[in-house]
Amino acid sequence: MPVAISIQNVSKTYPVPLAGVRQRFRIRSRAPVEALKEVSFDVREGEIFGLIGRNGAGKTTLTKIVATLVQPTEGVVKVAGFDSVRDEERVRAQVGLASAEERSFYWRLTVEQNLTFFSRLYGLGARDAARRIEELVELFELTELRRRRFGELSTGNKQRMSVARALLNSPPVLLLDEPTRSLDPLAAARMRELIGSLSRGARRVTVLLTSHNLAEVEELCERVAVISRGRIRATDTPQNLRAEHRQHERIRVVLRDFTVERARQLLSGAFDGLEITGEAEQTVVIFTREVGDERLDRALRALHDGGARVVSCETERGSLLDVLETFEREENGA
C-alpha cells in the first residue's frame, strides 16, 4: 500500500534561544531539550495510525513536524511525497490538523465566521466554502450553534470545531491530537465513529492519531507506535503489541451463597495472586494466570464441585496501558 506519511530518522532538539550570546557572556542557561531521537515509521494511505506515549514523550512535537509547524533538527518527513521543510506549502495543502488547543480560534467570531475565514485561507471559493461548512456543521452537529460565538461554546463543541476545521479542505491526511479529550462519553463515541468512517469512505483519509485514551487507540487504529522519551519503542498492531507485552491476565470470579473460608479451602496454594473477599452476599475470587493456561478451568471445576454458584467470570486482558508501562519500566531500569 502506498505511503502517506514517511518519517525517516527524525530528531528534534529545541535549541536554547540566543545560545551563542549566553555562552559568550557566561549566562547560565538550561540544556537544549531533546524531544525526538531518530524516529522512523511510515503511515500507509487510508490507515488510522496511533501514536501513544506519556506527556512529554514527543507526540505533539512529531505531529507538529508533520504539520510543518516545527522543523526537525535532523531527518526527513514526507507527506504524499512532499518534503515538510522544502515543500511546506504543498504539505500543508495535504494536511489537516486538529489539536486540543482551544485558543486556536477567534473567540469573538461565530462558528460560521471562524470556519469561513479558514476555508478562504485554504483557497476555497465563496460557494465551495459555504457548501463545505454546511456539510461539516451538520456532520459535527453544530448546525444550531453556527451563529454562536466560539467563546460561548462548550469545551466539547470547541473540540468538534477543531476537527471540522481540519476537514475544511478535505485533506487526504488528518492529524488528530487528542480528538476526544474533552468530550462526554456519547460525543466521544460519535467522534470515534466519525474518525473511523473517514478511513472507510470512498476517499480514504489517512489519520495520524495521538491520544492518552488507549482504549480509543485500540478501537480505532490499525497500527500503533509507542513513543517514550522521544524514541519509538515499538510499532505494530494493537493486538500484537498486547500479545508481546502481556503474558498474564487477571481472572475475577463472583460466587453466590458460598463463604470466603470455603473458597480459601478449595483454592489456596494452587493459584498465583489469589485474593478472596466477601462483598455483600457475594464472594469474589481474583487470581492471575498465563494467557490460555488450564488454571481457569481448574478453578471453576473446583468451585463447582465444592457447591459454589458462579455468578460471573471476567478476564482482564492486557491493554496498551500494559505495553506502555512495560516500556516505561524498561526505560527506568535502563
Partner 1 sequence: MRSLLLLLGRVRAFVVRDFQLAVSYRLEFFMRILSILFVTTTLFFISRIFKDSFSTPFEQWRDPFLAWITALPFLNYFMVGFSSLANAIRSEQAQGTLESVLMTPINIPTLIVSSSAWDFVQATFHSFLYLFFGWALFGVEYRGNFLLACLFLLLTTLVLASIGILSASFAMVFKRGDPLGLIIGTGSALFSGVFFPVQLMSEMAGSGFRIVSRLIPTTYGIDGIRRVLIQGQTFAEARQPLLTLLAYLAVLLPFSLWVFSRAVRRAKREGSLIQY
Alpha-carbon distances, residue 125 vs 121, 137, 140 (angstroms): 10, 18, 22
* Minimum CB distance to partner 1, residue 322 (Å): 32
Q: Rule CB under 8 A: is residue 117 a binding residue for partner 1?
A: yes
Contact between 93 and partner 1 by CB under 8 A: the answer reads yes
Among 49, 118, 258, 327, binds partner 1 (CB under 8 A): 118
> What is the distance between the alpha carbons of residues 109 and 25, in angstroms, rounded to a whole number?
47
Q: Which of 164, 126, 169, 120 lies closest to 142 in space, CA to CA?
A: 164
CB of 133 to partner 1, least distance (A): 13
Q: Segment contacting partner 1 (CB under 8 A): 39-47, 64-72, 136-144, 225-233?
A: 64-72
Q: Does 121 bind partner 1 (CB under 8 A)?
A: yes
Q: d(Cα 221, Cα 50) in Å, to the nearest integer?
A: 6
DSSP-derived pairing of the beta strands 282-290 and 272-279: antiparallel
* DSSP string computed for 50-101: EEE--TTSSHHHHHHHHTTSS--SEEEEEETTEETTTTHHHHHHHEEEE-S-
Q: Which is nearer to partner 1, 178 or 322 (CB)?
A: 178
106 touches partner 1 by CB under 8 A: yes
Q: Does residue 125 bind partner 1 (CB under 8 A)?
A: yes
State how far the Cα of 180 lies from the Cα of 183, in Å rounded to an integer. 5
Binding mask 161-200 for partner 1 (x = CB under 8 A): ----x-----------------------------------
Tell me: does residue 333 bind partner 1 (CB under 8 A): no
265 near partner 1, rule: CB under 8 A: no
Give the closest residue to 310 by CA, choosing from 268, 250, 230, 251. 251
Under rule CB under 8 A, residue 22 binds partner 1: no
Select from 2, 9, 14, 27 the one that contacts partner 1 (CB under 8 A). Answer: 14
Nearest C-alpha neighbor of 133 from the set 106, 151, 109, 111: 111
Q: From 224, 204, 232, select the one nearest 321 (Cα to Cα).
A: 224
Q: Could you list the residues that contact partner 1 (CB under 8 A)?
A: 12, 14-15, 17, 35, 61, 64, 67-71, 73, 89-90, 92-93, 95, 97, 101-109, 113, 116-118, 120-123, 125, 165
